[in-house]
Amino acid sequence: MLTSSYLNKEECKMKQYFSRIWTGLLITFFSFSFISSSYAIDIKLWDLSGRQGQDEFYELLQKEVSKYNPDINVIVTEWENEAYKTQIQLALNGNDGPDVFFNWFGEDSARLARAGLALDLTPYADMEGGYGNFISKGWQDAGAVDGKIYGVANKAVSKYFYYDPAFFDQHNLSVPTTFGELIDTCKSIKAIDPSIVPWPMGNSERWKLNHVITMLNQRVVGAENTKADYALTAPDDELFTNPKYVEAWEKVVELNENCFNDAPNATNPELTRSMFAAQISPMMYCGTWCGGIFASEGFTDFKMFRFPRVEGGADDGTVGFLVAEGLQVSAKTKHPEAAALVASINVSDNMALADAELRGSLISNAALIDQMKDAPHWFTFYVNDIADKSGHVNVLDVLLEANVSNAYLDMGTEVLNGTKSPQEAMDFIRKVALEAKAAM
Amino acid sequence: MNKTQTNSVGFSLSSDRVSVIILLIPALIFCTVFIFIPAFWAIVGSFYSYGMTSLNDWKWVGFDNYIKASQDEFFWIALKNNFIIVFASIVLQVGVGTILAAILDRGIKYGKVIFRTIIFTPMVISSVAVSIIWLIIYDPNVGILNSILKSIGLPTPSMGWLGDPDISIWMIMIVAGWQNTGFMMVLILAGLQGVSKEVYDAAEIDGATGVKAFWYITLPMIRNILIVAILITTIGAFKVFEFVYVLTQGGPSNATQVLGTYIYLQAFNLLHMGYANALSVVLLIIALILGWFQLKASRRA
């Protein structure tokens, strides 16, 4: 009996002891929750992966944002290019998506704005730290839809022909200024050594050739003639009927016969970059992101030239490929002002300079480029050349309506394989465009 | 005493029922949340038109999506490719799996475990990883397949193994076969090991040995296992996605499109969610019919 009573007392003590511990833990937990919910604003930012200097860039972004609002905590998630295109749409429709996210400016960004998934950032332009303080009206308009700003453009990408000057000098080859000269250059390179691929083409993901046909349409058909077709506003009996479109596809056939490697539809685009960087191929058409990649693979002595004009084409060769990119803010964000601030600070003077220096970006805050330290020669070339161009053309897979864009991507594969003629390719694209227009 | 027993038995039965229900609840919750509700919404959504970026803007279209599917050449290409994969998988995976199982069961004396492990190993690797490995093997510029063929003077396809619309679907089949044949082999081997040795001894007395014994004794006796293997392969072939997505993304120009990748293309690239739902419902019906056959066959087996 005595033992039993003793045990009961001990049990009571133990219970009291554990009860105190539990109470303490609960108080601590709720205190931390209260503190964190009171002060921290987590802003989830999604961007593409694989760029040099990305970690340092985002560390700096956190510091810069903290200068304006020390409670904002920027949480960055990076995605592979292809996975991102699907994932961002899913996430924006869900309840746990990003507050701020990367996008290509054009149809991709406008579609999100029209669907009410992207936040109207117009009211935040002139707030303290707002993007209106940093980038020009022209760059602000890159993210505009129906007069409102739905994204802050922080950079642009363009494309150039990269070539190996040592190879060109050694074999007395000159930089082509017309499409005909480009074909002749390819023929000359093959004549030197038939095993050399003059211009490696990796179209396994379909977008590589899409960039080429974007430029060929521009050079052959011209911006004025493509505008209504691309926007699907041309009358039905005229939509994509201009015979110059077929001519542009015929140029692709010519390139395939004279310049490209065998099996371009089965070749990975990254492999073709390595072929140029390893100086196996003396020339390739690649984006402004490629200069840094070639350098990281040990090849820096390359030079660039523009996509040549086409003889008899509608364009004199001064219009260039340019896709603006930047950040949009989710319409579902719980912290619109903080998210808008993060998107804005991304283009501030300090961040823009860091973007150029660390990530090699062609920044929208272009006035700062002169302050850039140790700019590599390719970067200087891009900046000067873009400033020198008479106009810009957006890439078809960003610009066109999704079904028409997919038709262009598919026809690129078919024309390269020779399973469809240029005329058949355009007939198919016209059919899809008419269906897409009817569904609008 | 009798009454007590009845009560006791009655109580015990109802307690069992309660236990059964309680034990079923977690599975039912998961099935409802992850299968029944999404399937229900897929069926409902198939009668509407809406996109990924207009999820709150559903437009009633009735059976239009199903009519569209019946007129969509790429849907029929995808369905045809699924059937090609079904038949090719049965030949490659079940056929070769049966031969390998027979060899391991009766054809070799030593190293059975080693061979069985080697053949089964691809099964434990992720399908995506397997596809990437084969992507490198098939590469027209640096792939080992082209190197081997060229080194012995044989021609290689000018459009590449995965770039040629006439052969790319078969190249995908080889990858799927390479990964899954081991599983079929193990399944069939289990069936073979259940065949009594006495049956073979009796057959031997009657003059049936080797291939003859395999044909007249082994195959009929593992018939039910083979049916299950064929049904598993068939259902797997209809669900195929990752091999096609990683190797060709349905290309070149839709030549390797299957229902899984075509649904993905429509839903997430072309943003036709309603149409993608209708295609999913077609796939669901096919899967249900096959599943019913599988269930029946499993019971008989």
| A209 found inside a domain | yes
* B contact test, residue of A262, A271, A273, A428 with most B CBs within 10 A: A262
Q: Does residue A137 register a pLDDT over 60?
A: yes
What are the structure tokens assigned to B297, written together? 């066959």
Which residue carries 């590599």 as its tokens? A376
| A2 found inside a domain | no
Q: How far A285 CA lies from chain B's nearest CA (Å)?
A: 19
* Residue-wise pLDDT tens digits, B158-178: 999 999 999 999 999 999 999
Q: What is the DSSP track for B104-173?
A: IIII-SS-HHHHHHHHHGGGGS-HHHHHHHHHHHH-TTT-HHHHHHHHTT----TT-TTT-TTTHHHHHH
Give the strand pairing for A152-163 and A303-305: antiparallel
Query: Would you call B236 an interface residue with chain A, using a CB distance cutoff of 8 Å?
Result: no
**Pair A102, A48: CB distance under 8 Å:** yes
- Rounded to two decimals, the ipTM of the complex is 0.79
In terms of domains, do A163 and A233 share one? yes
Give pLDDT, residue A67.
93
In chain A, what residues touch B142 (CB-CB under 8 Å)? 271
* B contact test, residue of A208, A413, A432 with most B CBs within 10 A: A413
Give pLDDT, residue A337.
95
* B contact test, residue of A87, A265, A275 with most B CBs within 10 A: A265
In terms of domains, do A344 and A313 share one? no
Angle, alpha carbons A152-A156-A162 (nearest 5°) = 170
In chain B, what residues touch A419 (CB-CB under 8 Å)? 165, 252-253
In terms of domains, do A120 and A255 share one? no
What are the structure tokens assigned to B274, written together? 């309603």
**Pair B238, B82: CB distance under 8 Å:** yes
**What interhelical angle do B168-193 and B127-138 show, nearest 10?**
130
Share of chain A above pLDDT 70, in %: 91
* Residue-wise pLDDT tens digits, B127-155: 999 999 999 999 998 899 999 999 999 99
Give pLDDT, residue A315.
87
| A275 found inside a domain | yes
Which residue carries 């290309």 as its tokens? B251
Give pLDDT, residue B300.
67
Which residue carries 């850039």 as its tokens? A372
What are the structure tokens assigned to A55, written together? 């970690």
* Distance in angstroms (rounded) separating the CA atoms of residues B265 and B272: 9
* Cis preceding linkage at B252, omega within 30: yes
In chain A, what residues touch B254 (CB-CB under 8 Å)? 410
* Distance in angstroms (rounded) separating the CA atoms of residues A115 and B139: 41
pLDDT band at B301 (very low <50, low <70, confident <90, very high): low
In terms of domains, do A144 and A198 share one? no
| A130 found inside a domain | yes
- What letter does residue A307 receive in the DSSP assignment? P
Query: Would you call B241 an interface residue with chain A, using a CB distance cutoff of 8 Å?
Result: no
In chain A, what residues touch B269 (CB-CB under 8 Å)? 85-86, 402, 406
| A230 found inside a domain | yes
In terms of domains, do A381 and A337 share one? yes
**Count of residues making up chain A:** 440
Q: Does residue A399 register a pLDDT over 90?
A: no
Give pLDDT, residue B156.
92
Task: Search chain B and give the residue with CA nearest A418.
Answer: B159
Q: Does residue B157 register a pLDDT over 70?
A: yes
| A52 found inside a domain | yes
In terms of domains, do A335 and A298 share one? no
Q: Centre a 10 Å sphere on the Cβ of residue A292 and count the other Cβ atoms it contains.
A: 18
Give pLDDT, residue A9.
61
In terms of domains, do A401 and A384 share one? no
Q: Output the CA–CA distances (angstroms, integers) from residue B30 to A355, B27, B184, B288, in the order listed.
A: 46, 5, 29, 19
In terms of domains, do A307 and A242 share one? yes
Where residue A87 sits, what CATH number does that domain have? 3.40.190.10
Give pLDDT, residue B5.
46
Query: Would you call B224 an interface residue with chain A, using a CB distance cutoff of 8 Å?
Result: no
Q: How far B125 CA lies from chain A's nearest CA (Å)?
A: 22
* Residue-wise pLDDT tens digits, B278-292: 999 999 999 888 888
* Residue-wise pLDDT tens digits, B5-53: 445 444 555 778 888 889 999 999 999 999 999 999 999 999 999 887 6
Domain ranges, residue A74 = 41-157+323-389
User: How many independent structural domains does chain A possess?
Assistant: 2
Q: How far A395 CA lies from chain B's nearest CA (Å)?
A: 17
Mean pLDDT calculated for residue range A399-420: 93
SS3 of residue A41 by DSSP: strand
| A383 found inside a domain | yes
Q: Does residue B54 register a pLDDT over 80?
A: no
Alpha carbon B134 to its chain centroid, in Å, reads 19
In terms of domains, do A151 and A245 share one? no
pLDDT band at B1 (very low <50, low <70, confident <90, very high): very low
SS3 content of chain A, % helix, strand, coil (to 5): 55, 15, 30
In terms of domains, do A171 and A263 share one? yes
Give pLDDT, residue B299.
72
For chain A, helix (H) and strand (E) counts, in that order, are 18, 11
Query: Would you call B52 an interface residue with chain A, using a CB distance cutoff of 8 Å?
Result: yes
Please report, as a single letter, which amino acid is at residue A125: A
Q: Does residue A40 register a pLDDT over 90?
A: no
Give pLDDT, residue B2.
45
In chain B, what residues touch A411 (CB-CB under 8 Å)? 253
Give pLDDT, residue B167.
94
Give the strand pairing for A303-305 and A144-145: unpaired
pLDDT band at B111 (very low <50, low <70, confident <90, very high): confident
Q: What is the mean pLDDT of chain A?
A: 88
Give pLDDT, residue B126.
93
Task: Search chain B and give the residue with CA nearest A82.
Answer: B269
* Distance in angstroms (rounded) separating the CA atoms of residues B10 and A429: 73
In terms of domains, do A343 and A435 share one? no
Share of chain A above pLDDT 90, in %: 60
* Residue-wise pLDDT tens digits, B204-235: 888 877 788 888 888 888 888 888 899 889 98
Least confident of A132-136, A309-313, A363-367: A363-367
* Residue-wise pLDDT tens digits, A308-339: 999 999 988 888 888 889 999 999 999 999 99
In terms of domains, do A184 and A299 share one? yes
* Distance in angstroms (rounded) separating the CA atoms of residues A101 and B120: 43
| A399 found inside a domain | yes
Give pLDDT, residue B208.
79
Mean pLDDT calculated for residue range A100-114: 89
Cβ separation A402–B271 shorter than 8 A: yes
Domain boundary among A350, A369, A389: A389
Query: Would you call B128 an interface residue with chain A, using a CB distance cutoff of 8 Å?
Result: no
Selecting from B53, B163, B270 the residue whose C-beta is nearest the C-beta of A403 gives B270
Give the strand pairing for A72-79 and A41-48: parallel
Selecting from A85, A403, A417 the residue whose C-beta is nearest the C-beta of B252 gives A417
